[in-house]
Amino acid sequence: MENLYVVIPCYNEEEVLEKTKKVLEKKMTDLIRKKKINKQSKVIFINDGSKDKTWDLIQKFYEEDKLFGGINLSRNRGHQNALLAGLLTVKDDADIVISMDADLQDDIEVMDEMIEKRNHGADIVYGVRNSRKKDSFFKRTTAQGFYQVMRMLGVDVIYNHADYRLTSKRVLDSLADYQEVNLFLRGIFPLIGFKSDIVYYERGERAAGESKYPLKKMLNFAWDGITSFSVRPIRLILNIGILILVLSILMILYSIIQKVFGNTVDGWTFIVCSLWLLGGIQMLSLGVIGEYIGKIYSETKARPRYIIDKYIVER
Ligand code: UDP
Ligand code: MG
């Protein structure tokens, strides 16, 4: 029997937290009763600088029931950093850790199966969505496109796996050695290695509240996964490059039309087309190179990835 810690990053989740707590309380007592996990197992909520009552709720849960604990970050650091803070903070007390979202979109019932696979020797058990029926068409296509692009670029990611996974303590000890500031956790775990397994589940709808990943955050996250980070002025160059490339296509069409109607001097079409196309490609390339320089810039600063204000747990 192992000590299980469930870590849950929370950002402005007051609407759903009571429900999440209830569901997990039932699941954990059930697992403890069935002797699948140790009695000292815990559920730790990480408050990622919420502006609402999230931290008050977490403190209340902790007061009422020592199954629950909390980590309060000094400010909002984003989902990946909050998750990392949770994983690295609890790893010394836990044998295995399961990470999941606060909104109950990840099916809690497959926790049994995860633990089972763990008992059969897996160090990492990935939760994989077997359908995206509940996602909007837009989210589904963009997410799937994202995984495909990642694959094409040679990044080893598990298709349709987000951050619902079980990891053993030794995996987390290895994770601590990955010092990168530009975090993309689901890309790191496959790199760590060890024996891994997969459980499939149906991803449900958010139990309450709204997504903390609006389109803009989602696009940014996807981009970070590929280049790892960006610096705004450099991103601007990239955007201008894209704009010019689009403009160049229009210009090329325009000059060809002019050519067809015979309103041109010899050689004009060719010069105009190459001018625009090359300009656009150059600007775009500059932007891409800039993205990587920006990434080096932030990595060399090696700033802390999270700062913990308080850790409440009864051991
Ligand atoms: N989250 C966080 N910090 C943030 C944004 C989100 O800790 O800055 C948490 C959020 O509370 C949730 C998880 O990350 O537990 C995933 O967010 P969400 O469910 O809103 O994303 P979606 O499922 O819509 O992609
Ligand atoms: Mg969600």
Q: Rounded to the nearest whole angstrom, what is the distance from the C-alpha of residue 103 to the centroid of ligand 2?
A: 5
Of 61-75, 109-123, 209-223, the one with minimum mean pLDDT is 209-223
Atom of ligand 1 nearest to the CA of 77: 8
Ligand nearest to the CA of 212: 1
Ligand nearest to the CA of 102: 1
Ligand 1 pocket: which of 103, 163, 217, 221 to mutate (most atoms within 8 A of CB): 103
pLDDT (mean) for 164-174: 94
Atom of ligand 1 nearest to the CA of 102: 15
Atom of ligand 1 nearest to the CA of 12: 11
Q: How far apart are CA 49 and CA 164, in angstroms?
A: 21
Q: How far apart are CA 76 and CA 11, in angstroms?
A: 8
Of 77-81, 224-228, 281-285, the one with minimum mean pLDDT is 224-228
Q: In which band, very low, low, confident or very high, does the pLDDT at 299 lie, cut at 50, 70 and 90? A: confident
Atom of ligand 1 nearest to the CA of 82: 7
Percent of the chain with pLDDT strictly greater than 70: 96
Give the pLDDT confidence of 300-311 residue by residue, as tens digits.
777 778 888 889
Q: What pLDDT is attached to residue 65?
A: 93
Give the pLDDT confidence of 228-286 residue by residue, as tens digits.
533 556 677 778 888 888 888 888 888 888 888 887 777 777 787 788 888 888 888 88
Q: What pLDDT is attached to residue 264?
A: 76
Structure tokens at 93: 């007390």
Q: Rounded to the nearest whole angstrom, what is the distance from the C-alpha of residue 150 to the centroid of ligand 2?
A: 21
Residue with the larger pLDDT of the pair 28 and 212: 28
Ligand nearest to the CA of 139: 1
Q: What pLDDT is attached to residue 230?
A: 38
Q: What pLDDT is attached to residue 108?
A: 92
Cα angle 241-247-249, degrees, rounded to a multiple of 5 = 110
pLDDT (mean) for 197-225: 79
Residue with the larger pLDDT of the pair 135 and 29: 29
Residue with the larger pLDDT of the pair 305 and 22: 22
Cα angle 14-20-24, degrees, rounded to a multiple of 5 = 150
Ligand 1 pocket: which of 212, 215, 219, 306 to mutate (most atoms within 8 A of CB): 212
| Closest to 18 in 3D by CA, of 59, 57, 62, 70 | 57
Q: What pLDDT is attached to residue 266?
A: 74
pLDDT (mean) for 12-22: 93
> In the structure, which protein residues have their CB atom closer than 6 angstroms to any atom of ligand 1?
9-11, 13, 48, 76, 78-79, 82, 101-103, 105, 211-213
Q: What pLDDT is attached to residue 233?
A: 60
Ligand 1 pocket: which of 47, 101, 132, 138 to mutate (most atoms within 8 A of CB): 101
Atom of ligand 1 nearest to the CA of 101: 15
